[in-house]
Amino acid sequence: MPLPSCDLIYVHGAWKAPIAAAEPIPVFSPVTEEVIGTVAACGPQDVDAAVAAARAAFPAFSASSREERLALLGRILALMEERAEMLAQVISQEIGCAITFARNAHVPFGLAHVRAAIEVLRDFRFLSQQGTTAIAREAIGVCGLITPWNWPLYQITAKLAPALAAGCTVVLKPSELSPFSAQLLAQIIEEAGTPPGVFNMVTGTGEVVGAAMAAHPDIDMISITGSTRAGVLVAQAAAPTVKRVTQELGGKSPNILLDDADFARVVPLGVAAGMRNVGQSCSAPTRMLVPQSRLAEVEQLAADAANALVVGDPAQEATDLGPVANRNQFDKVQQMIGIGLAEGARLICGGPGRPEGVERGLYCRPTIFTCPDHRMAIAQEEIFGPVLCIIPYADEEDAVRIANDTVYGLGAHVQSGDLDRARRVAGRIRSGQVHINHPAWDGFAAFGGYKQSGNGREYGRFGLEEYLETKAILGFYPQ
């Protein structure tokens, strides 16, 4: 299907050209490496206009009733469901993920965030009693949302849905590398009857638009998902205006396979989890920690699982992994594979370059290393591609030590045949989420990081609360 034009931005309920004329940013297909469209390159003036629109709309929208906001979110959800296939097709084209994965993960998870916001809003207590004091939860104000290219719809709805549920107005900056699904969502939001100024979208680079949003005195909160480097820059720019900053940043999540796990089951599942979305997930479990005595067994199981993955045209139903999403990421993955080889990590499968027979496109080979030293760069740095590190450990204590020996703390996995044992290990891991025995995804579970993986939480009630201020009114209730 043809991709939509992105040369206009959405401000105060209307599609407009950027104020300052600038050369549009080209968007490249990861499959063909050719230009498939452009996106408007906005400047600080466009950010000013969007923020002004959001500021003007805030008093009325923050005072809207619960029922009005539920109705708005319900209309947005219905339109997203109606256009689910269109959204999946666009996401597959702009980031190169397999169309089956776009249909089965990207779009359903994006929809789930809207459903979760509706369910949480329906019963949320914005006013509660504490003795004679009232505790009021009020919309924080104008929110700047900065979202990444790797999960373009899912990351937007994880922020936008709770922000609207809270009564906030927003300015969205989607990634300039995957802007087309964001434009479709903006069209849906307009068609749903969102009041002018409640939702605004400006496009462009993080260095220009993201920086202007972070520093803007009339933005009350910034929510960013991106690299740790980007999160640090946003926090620094936001500091002089003392706005709230929530960050969901990088990760290098461990997957601990305890010695009583069903290895024939959990090793292939671990490989699939680490390489989902072509490994371009901040919480992907890309460090597989295994008992030293079972290393050879795990290596064989992991290699078999990786070699069975079908890498190819994302439009084909049989494809498991398409290309990585952009040239910078392809180059980073290739560089890190080279570093792993230079460090002396043992290559189990995959390796540098494209898969055999593939001459164009940003395709990477599903790659697995065994790292005898967990401090190796490929076992510490976020690669963001289909690269998995197997790390042997001596005993359970050693496994926990290795799992926590990282600057990140976003996600973790524990596999065990003994649930109580898995729970004990999970309780010792320093990360915002821990998955025991590959459970189903939970859109209401708090998601966010310890350490350099960020601040704040998203999803469900936890996500809504990030967009609220807390006010105590003493003497509100009679003694």
Q: Among residues of the chain, what percentage have pLDDT more than 90?
A: 97
CATH classification at residue 318: 3.40.309.10
Residues 210 and 341 in one domain: no
Task: Assess whether pLDDT exceeds 60 at residue 1.
Answer: no
Average of per-residue pLDDT across 15-35: 94
Confidence category of residue 3, pLDDT binned at 50, 70, 90: low
Whole-angstrom Cα distance, residue 209 to residue 173? 7
73 vs 3, which has greater pLDDT?
Answer: 73
Whole-angstrom Cα distance, residue 386 to residue 224? 24
Confidence category of residue 456, pLDDT binned at 50, 70, 90: very high
Whether 479 maps to a domain, the answer reads: no
In the block, tokens 């979208």 appear at 201
Residues 195 and 50 in one domain: yes
Whether 81 maps to a domain, the answer reads: yes
Identify the domain containing residue 388 by its residue range. Answer: 254-442
Whether 99 maps to a domain, the answer reads: yes
Nearest to 117 by CA among 182, 59, 72, 64: 72
Give me the pLDDT at residue 121, please.
98
Confidence category of residue 21, pLDDT binned at 50, 70, 90: confident
Residues 44 and 167 in one domain: yes
Residues 190 and 56 in one domain: yes
Average of per-residue pLDDT across 367-374: 97
Whether 3 maps to a domain, the answer reads: no
CATH classification at residue 67: 3.40.605.10
- Average pLDDT taken over every residue of the chain: 97
Give me the pLDDT at residue 6, please.
75
Residues 268 and 370 in one domain: yes
Give me the pLDDT at residue 426, please.
98
Give me the pLDDT at residue 215, please.
98
Give me the pLDDT at residue 113, please.
98
Residues 333 and 350 in one domain: yes
What does the angle CA 103 – CA 316 – CA 264 come to, to the nearest 5 degrees?
Answer: 75
State the catalytic residue, choosing from 282, 349, 364, 389. Answer: 282
Residues 239 and 372 in one domain: no
Whether 478 maps to a domain, the answer reads: no
pLDDT one-digit tens code per residue, 352-362: 999 998 999 99
Residues 437 and 293 in one domain: yes
pLDDT one-digit tens code per residue, 63-90: 999 999 999 999 999 999 999 999 999 9
Q: Is 248 a catalytic residue?
A: yes
State the catalytic residue, choosing from 6, 143, 176, 248. Answer: 248
First-residue to last-residue Cα distance in the chain? 65
Whether 424 maps to a domain, the answer reads: yes
Give me the pLDDT at residue 2, please.
60
Average of per-residue pLDDT across 456-469: 98
Residues 245 and 259 in one domain: no
- Amino acid making up residue 435: H
pLDDT one-digit tens code per residue, 38-67: 999 999 999 999 999 999 999 999 999 999
Task: Assess whether pLDDT exceeds 60 at residue 393.
Answer: yes
Tokens of 11: 């401000």
Total of domains in the chain:
2
Whether 262 maps to a domain, the answer reads: yes
Residues 225 and 282 in one domain: no
Residues 323 and 184 in one domain: no
Whether 400 maps to a domain, the answer reads: yes
Coil, helix or strand at residue 48: helix
Q: Is 6 a catalytic residue?
A: no
Nearest to 258 by CA among 417, 135, 150, 130: 417
Confidence category of residue 443, pLDDT binned at 50, 70, 90: very high
Q: How buried is 359 (Cβ within 10 angstroms: 0-12 exposed, 13-18 middle, 19+ buried)?
A: exposed
Give me the pLDDT at residue 206, please.
96
Residues 345 and 227 in one domain: no
